[in-house]
């Protein structure tokens, strides 16, 4: 039987790393992106040791660069002709205002714009699967979002708590609109809250917040299992456009449920990408 292909971002640490190892146990061809070769090699070794599956591959991709994403997908397509599961897991949480090479605030750019663009570029390979799944890792933090369409990446009025919440709302809006656009295709799209998990996302945050979060966090493997369930379980087969809070259907904020705003945000995301990548084509 031909192996299914799973592509995962954010696999070199945290829940992404554990999820990658768990999915590899299920006889997948597991592919992940990385920015650092040493960490990538260590992650590959870890996945093989944990899963017993040696069919592990990785590509260089800097999610803070739209051009890097474009180069990665071109390279990926030269080697692979389909994707069965795409897991948009990578994320960052910047405590200070930092810009990407494209001129966007880094948290918003990595957490949303990168995966918006990456997913668009890979939809043709997902369509070649008999039953493809797209999984976007969001957060209950979306409930604290205060999105401003005149300042989408919060670069004009930066607040590190707000920008992270906005990026997680963005993940859900993206999921909901994409699910609607693909409703007649063989591709499901869902988002999830993995739980409050010990994470490298905390590394750049103020010390008091790090310590408080660690006190209430669950183990990394717990959060990974929430991702793996959406990637593999027959229970969620055919379910699309749904937000899961850990292992159950979650409750969205009123803002996240606003499909009109989600569509408006989709169009804004298109403009933000196309202003930097002139040949970008949305669906």
Place of tokens 């969205």: 252
What is the model's pTM? 0.93
Q: For residue 280, tell me if it sits in a domain.
A: no
Domain span holding position 213:
5-274
Q: For residue 281, tell me if it sits in a domain.
A: no
Q: What is the mean pLDDT of the chain?
A: 92
Which of residues 215 and 167 earns the better pLDDT score? 167
CA–CA separation, 21 vs 113, rounded Å? Answer: 26
Q: For residue 279, tell me if it sits in a domain.
A: no
Q: For residue 219, tell me if it sits in a domain.
A: yes
Identify whether the C-beta of residue 239 lies closer than 8 Å to the C-beta of residue 175.
no
Tell me which residues are annotated as active site.
164
Q: For residue 38, tell me if it sits in a domain.
A: yes
Q: What is the pLDDT of residue 198?
A: 52
Find the CATH number of the domain harbouring 19. 3.40.50.720
Q: Would the pLDDT of 185 be above 50?
A: yes
137: Cβ–Cβ under 8 A, 6 or more apart, which residues?
A: 10, 15, 87, 88, 89, 91, 171, 191, 192, 194, 227
Q: For residue 116, tell me if it sits in a domain.
A: yes
| CA distances to 63, 67, 87, 193, 225 from 136, in Å | 15, 21, 6, 9, 14
DSSP 95: S
Number of domains in the chain: 1
Q: For residue 71, tell me if it sits in a domain.
A: yes
């Amino acid at each position: 039987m031909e192996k299914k292909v799973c592509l995962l971002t954010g696999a070199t640490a945290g829940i992404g790393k554990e999820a990658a190892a768990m999915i590899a146990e299920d006889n997948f061809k597991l592919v992940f992106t990385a920015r650092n070769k040493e960490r990538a090699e260590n992650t590959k070794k870890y996945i093989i040791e944990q899963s017993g599956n040696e069919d592990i591959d990785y590509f260089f991709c800097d999610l803070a660069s739209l051009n890097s994403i474009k180069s990665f997908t071109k390279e990926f397509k030269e080697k692979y002709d389909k994707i069965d599961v795409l897991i948009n897991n990578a994320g960052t949480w910047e405590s200070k205002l930092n810009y990407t090479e494209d001129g966007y605030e880094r948290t918003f750019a990595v957490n949303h714009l990168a995966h918006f663009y990456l997913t668009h570029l890979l939809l043709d390979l997902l369509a070649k699967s008999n039953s493809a799944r797209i999984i976007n890792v969001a957060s209950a933090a979306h409930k604290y979002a205060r999105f401003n369409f005149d300042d989408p990446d919060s670069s004009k009025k930066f607040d590190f708590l707000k920008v992270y919440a906005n990026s997680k709302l963005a993940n859900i809006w993206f999921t909901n609109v994409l699910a609607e656009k693909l409703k007649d295709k063989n591709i499901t799209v869902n988002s999830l809250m993995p739980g409050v998990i010990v994470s490298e996302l905390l590394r750049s945050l103020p010390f008091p917040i790090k310590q408080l979060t660690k006190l209430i966090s669950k183990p990394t493997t717990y959060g990974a299992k929430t991702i793996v369930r959406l990637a593999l379980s027959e229970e969620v087969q055919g379910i699309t456009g749904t937000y899961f809070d850990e292992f159950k259907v979650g409750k969205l904020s009123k803002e996240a449920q606003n499909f009109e705003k989600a569509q408006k945000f989709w169009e804004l995301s298109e403009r933000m990408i196309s202003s930097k990548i002139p040949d970008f084509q949305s669906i």
